A and B are shown apart, each in its own frame.
Chain A
Amino acid sequence: MHLHDVWFVLIAVLWIGYFFLEGFDFGVGVLTRLLARDRLEKRVLINTIGPVWDGNEVWLLTAGGATFAAFPEWYATLFSGFYLPLLVILVCLIVRGVAFEYRAKRPEEKWQRNWETAIFWTSLLPAFLWGVAFGNIVRGVKIDRNFEYVGTVGDLLNPYALLGGLVTLTLFTFHGTVFTALKTVGEIRERARKLALKVGLVTAVLSLVFLVWTQIHGGDGASLIALVVAVAALVAALAANQIGREGWSFALSGVTIVAAVAMLFLTLFPDVMPSSLNAEWSLTVTNASSSPYTLKIMTWCAAIATPIVLLYQSWTYWVFRKRIGTQHIAAEAAH
Chain B
Amino acid sequence: MELALAPETLARWQFGITTVYHFLFVPLTISLAALTAGLQTAWVRTENEKYLRATKFWGKLFLINIAMGVVTGIVQEFQFGMNWSDYSRFVGDIFGAPLAFEALIAFFFESTFIGLWIFGWDKLPKKIHLACIWMVSIGTILSAYFILAANSWMQHPVGYRINEAKGRAELTDFWQVLTQNTALAQAFHTLTASFLTGGAFMVGIAAFHLFRKKDIRVMKTSLRLGLVTVVVAGLLTAVSGDTLGKVMFKQQPMKMAAAEALWDGQDAAPFSIFAYGDVSKGHNSVELSIPGILSFLANDDFQSYVPGINDTNKAEQAKYGPGDYRPIIPVTFWAFRWMIGFGMASFAIGLVGLWLTRKKFLLPQHLRVGEDEVPHLVLFRSKALSPRLSKLYWLVAVWTLGFPLIANSWGWIFTEMGRQPWVVYGVLQTRHAVSPGVSQAEVLTSMIVFTALYAVLAVIEVKLLVKYIKAGPPELTEADLNPPTKIGGDSRDADKPMAFSY
Contact = CB atoms under 8 A, between A and B. Distances in A.
Given A291-B171, A297-B97, A62 B107 contact: yes
B495 A327 contact: yes
Interface stretch (A127-135, A200-208, A268-276, A298-306): A298-306
Contact of B81 (A79, A94, A305): A79
A322 B488 contact: yes
* Nearest 6 CB-CB pairings of A with B: A72-B92, A79-B81, A69-B96, A68-B96, A101-B67, A80-B85
A58 B495 contact: no
Interface string A293-335: 1100110011001100100110010111110100111110001
Contact of B119 (A51, A64, A305): A51
B396 interface: no
B86 interface: yes
30 contacts: A43-B501, A55-B108, A55-B111, A58-B107, A61-B77, A62-B108, A65-B104, A70-B96, A72-B168, A73-B92, A76-B85, A79-B88, A80-B83, A94-B72, A97-B67, A97-B71, A98-B457, A101-B502, A102-B67, A105-B467, A150-B437, A293-B174, A294-B93, A294-B170, A301-B100, A313-B112, A321-B488, A322-B489, A328-B501, A329-B497
A244 B45 CA distance: 47
B474 to A, nearest CB: 9
A331 B497 contact: yes
A329 B109 CA distance: 28
Interface stretch (B196-204, B244-252, B356-364, B438-446): B438-446
Contact of B501 (A70, A298, A305, A330): A330
Contacts of B95: 68
A305 B114 CA distance: 19
A55 B109 CA distance: 8
A104 interface: yes
Nearest to A321: B488
B497 A55 contact: no
A69 B115 contact: no
A47 interface: yes
Interface in A87-110: 87, 90-91, 93-95, 97-98, 100-106
Given A58-B111, A103-B502, A328-B501, 7 more contacts: A79-B78, A94-B457, A297-B174, A301-B100, A302-B104, A305-B104, A318-B488
A184 interface: no
Contacts of B327: none
A87 B488 contact: no
A41 interface: no
A228 interface: no
Nearest to B168: A72
Given A65-B103, A97-B67, A291 B96 contact: no
B380 interface: no
A23 to B, nearest CB: 17
A313 B108 contact: yes
A86 B67 CA distance: 21
B487 A319 contact: yes
Contacts of A105: 64, 464, 467-468
Contacts of B494: 322
A69 B81 contact: no
Given A106-B464, A316-B112, A47 B501 contact: yes
Assign chain B's interface to a size class: 35 or more
B497 A330 contact: yes
A157 interface: no
Assign chain A's interface to a size class: 35 or more
B119 A320 contact: yes
A291 B165 CA distance: 12
Given A68-B80, A69-B92, A81 B437 contact: yes
Contacts of B118: 50-51
A306 B103 CA distance: 11
A301 B488 contact: no
A160 interface: no
B103 A62 contact: yes
Nearest to B170: A291
Nearest to B442: A83
A148 B435 CA distance: 9
B102 interface: yes
Most chain A CB atoms below 10 A, which of B67, B94, B103, B124 = B103
Interface string B475-493: 0000000000001110000
B317 interface: no
B89 interface: yes
Contacts of B99: 65, 68-69
B96 A51 contact: no
A335 B70 CA distance: 21
Contacts of B488: 318-322
